[in-house]
Structure 1
Amino acid sequence: MVVRVRADKLYILSVQRKSEPRVFEKMDTLVGYLKKLGIEKFDVDTAAYAPVSYTRPDRSTALKEAHEAAAHDKWFQKEVAKGLKAADSPDAIWISHEDVKASMIAKLLARVDAAGANT
């Protein structure tokens, strides 16, 4: 939309930080916006006006995704709490990093040997 504020100047209202023109769905919204800018007198050219219907995004999908995310967060928090409780238990068995690393290397070498035997 091009807004003529003074007879000698044209201004194009654009979206913040972008060069694309700002779109107003209702004339009341445009008038309120211009008044906030201190512009009380302006001309509107509707020669190229073609009504466009705007559709609002489906809120039910967004709400469903929000509920699924909240349910996942709740489940995750329960799992973390269970893990922390198990780790704090006096019956917890701790395995050192070096022992786990040695065990993994042994398992990988066994797989490599098995794969070599099959070829």
Structure 2
Amino acid sequence: MVLDTIDHVTLSRLVAANAVSSAHIIGQAGGWGIVIKYGVTERALAAKRGSMRIFRKFETLVAYLKTMGVFKYEVDATGFDPAALKNTHRAEIASARMTATHDAAAYDKWFREQVQAAIEDPRSSISNEEVTAHFAARRKEIEQRINSSR
């Protein structure tokens, strides 16, 4: 079941406007998620990257809801998997993010070097007018061949 998400700021505004009709805490592999219902719309609380925010500890989620002003909620622990908590290490996740960051930085450095090398290339460049004229002549030649074969 894929739900649309709601961010922290929007949730706080809905709570302030007394528009939240219910909150459902849903057990997930690796922690707990929250689905907020306002009107006929249900939205999962989003993490910074847009996916559903997962709280590793139930107590942390309850404290978050209390600070938001949500004091009543339903809990569905059907999908909760305590073994998944032990398999997900923050260090591994942080390491993967750091690796991705370094890979992106290395690619950025390589790309900038390529651009700089192209800028410093001593060979003469071709003007836009020359290229446009060249391809216009080629198009005309191809059109003539097509028209002569008809």
TM-score by length of 2: 0.42
Say which structure, 1 or 2, has more relative contact order (CA 8 Å, 6+ apart). 2
Q: TM-score, normalised by structure 1?
A: 0.49
Q: Which has the larger radius of gyration?
A: 1
More strand by share: 2
